[in-house]
Amino acid sequence: MRSVWRFLTSPRPGFALAGAVLAVSAFASFLRPEIADEKVHRAKWFAGLLAAMSTAVVLSAVKRLVTLSVRTLGLLVAHVGALLLATGAWIDFRSGAHGSIDAPVTPGEVYDGYRLRGGRTVEKLPFQYSLETFSVELHPPRLWVLERTRDEGLRKEQYAVRQGSRVSSRGYVFTVEETFGTLRTVEEAREASAKPPHAAALVRLRDARGAVVRETWLGGAGAGAASVLVPPEESSSPRGFRLSYLGCGPEEPPDLEAPVPDGPRLFVRLRDAGVTRVLPAVAGAAVFVSDRYSLRVESTTFDFQRRAESDEVLAPVDPAACVVIAGPSGDEQRWVFANHDDHGHGQKYPEVGMTYLFPEGGPPVEARLFTMRDGEVYRHEVYLPATRTRVVLALDRPVPLHPSGHAMELVRFLPDAVVSRREVDAGSRLQRPAARVRIEGPERRETVTLVVGEPHLLKGRDFFLVYAYRDGFEGDIREFESRMRIVEGGEARPETISVNRPLSIGEFRIHQDVSKEPESGKWQSTFRVVKEPGARLETAGILVLAAGLFLSVATLFLAGRPS
Amino acid sequence: MSGLFLDVAFWACAASAVLHVLASAGRRRLLGAMGLLALIVGAAAGAAFLGREWADIHRPPLAGRAGLAVAFSFALAVFHLLFLRRGPVVPLLAAAGMGLAVLFAAPAEPPPPLLGSARWMGVHVGLCLLGHAGFAVAFAAALGRLVRAGGTHAVCAAATGTLAATLLVAVGAALLATRSGAAVLPPASSLPGMVAGSAFALAGLLVWPVRWGVSRRVAFEGEDAGMDRAVDRSMLGGVLALGLGILAGALWAHETWGSFWRWDPKEIWAAFTWLLAVFYLHARFARGWSGPRAAWIAVATFGMATFTFLGAGSLRGGMHRFLE
Residue pLDDT, tens place only, B116-168: 566 788 889 899 999 999 999 899 888 888 887 777 777 777 777 777 777 77
What is the structure's pLDDT at A469? Answer: 47
Same domain, A84 and A178: no
In sequence order, the β-bridge partners of residue A153 are A149
What is the structure's pLDDT at B37? Answer: 92
Residues 6 or more apart whose Cβ sits within 8 Å of residue A184: A192, A418, A420, A430, A431
Average pLDDT over residues B41-63: 83
Q: What is the 3-state secondary structure (H, E, C) of A417-447?
A: CCCCCCCCCCCCCCCEEEEEEEEECCCCEEE
pLDDT along chain A (563 residues), means of 10: 78 84 83 79 84 82 68 82 87 82 66 71 81 72 65 63 71 73 52 39 64 57 29 37 35 38 50 51 54 62 46 47 66 61 42 35 45 43 55 61 62 45 42 71 73 64 56 51 82 82 85 71 77 89 92 82 53
Task: Provide the pairing of β-strand A97-101 with A110-116.
Answer: antiparallel
Same domain, A129 and A79: no
Identity of the residue numbered A127: F
**Domain assignment of residue A446, yes or no:** yes
> What number of helices (H) and strands (E) belong to chain A?
7, 33
Residues in chain B: 324
| Phi/psi at B135 (5° precision) | -65, -35
Domain count, chain A: 4
Look at residue B125 and give its three-state secondary structure.
helix
Same domain, A447 and A509: no
Residues 6 or more apart whose Cβ sits within 8 Å of residue B6: A153, A154, B45, B46, B49, B66, B70, B98, B101, B102, B105
Q: Kindly report the nearest CA distance between residue A334 and chain B, in angstroms.
A: 34
Same domain, A83 and A130: no
Cβ-Cβ contacts under 8 Å, A31 against chain B:
316
B48 CB within 8 Å of a chain A CB: no
Domain residue extents for chain B = 2-314
Same domain, A493 and A546: no
Cβ distance A152 to B4 less than 8 Å, yes or no, reads yes
Cβ-Cβ contacts under 8 Å, B56 against chain A:
156
Residues 6 or more apart whose Cβ sits within 8 Å of residue A459: none
Task: Provide the pairing of β-strand A345-350 with A332-340.
Answer: antiparallel
Look at residue B191 and give its three-state secondary structure.
helix
What is the structure's pLDDT at B130? Answer: 92
What is the structure's pLDDT at A547? Answer: 93
Sign of CA dihedral B22, B25, B31, B35: positive
Cβ-Cβ contacts under 8 Å, A116 against chain B:
none
Cβ distance B247 to A29 less than 8 Å, yes or no, reads no
Cβ distance B269 to A26 less than 8 Å, yes or no, reads yes
**Domain assignment of residue A321, yes or no:** yes
pLDDT higher than 80, residue B281: yes
What is the structure's pLDDT at B322? Answer: 47
**Domain assignment of residue A9, yes or no:** yes
pLDDT higher than 50, residue B63: yes
Same domain, A122 and A156: no
What is the structure's pLDDT at A395? Answer: 59
What is the structure's pLDDT at B242? Answer: 95
Same domain, A346 and A274: yes
What is the structure's pLDDT at A436? Answer: 73
Mutate to test the interface with B, among A24, A29, A35 (most CBs of B within 10 A): A29
Identity of the residue numbered B151: G
Same domain, A284 and A347: yes
Cβ-Cβ contacts under 8 Å, B279 against chain A:
15
pLDDT one-digit tens code per residue, B206-255: 554 455 455 544 444 456 777 888 889 899 999 999 999 999 999 888 88
| Residues B75, B79, B84: CA angle, nearest 5 degrees | 150
**pLDDT band for position B188 (50/70/90)?**
very low
What is the structure's pLDDT at B245? Answer: 94
> Which domain-ending residue is among A319, A352, A385?
A352
Cβ distance A478 to B315 less than 8 Å, yes or no, reads no
Sheet holding A456-457, edge to edge: A153-160, A142-149, A463-468, A456-457
Question: Which residue in chain A is spatially nearest to B105 when comparing CA positions?
Answer: A154
What average pLDDT is seen over chain B?
76
Cβ-Cβ contacts under 8 Å, A541 against chain B:
none
**With 0-12 CB in 10 A as exposed, 13-18 as middle and 19+ as buried, what is B43?**
buried
Boundaries of domain holding A44: 2-97+535-559
The pTM score is: 0.62
> Which domain-ending residue is among A332, A352, A372?
A352
Instruction: Please answer whether residues A365 and A357 qualify as being in contact, where contact means their C-beta atoms are separated by less than 8 angstroms.
Output: yes
What is the structure's pLDDT at B244? Answer: 94
Same domain, A246 and A320: yes
**Domain assignment of residue A387, yes or no:** no
Cβ distance B258 to A511 less than 8 Å, yes or no, reads yes
pLDDT higher than 60, residue B6: yes
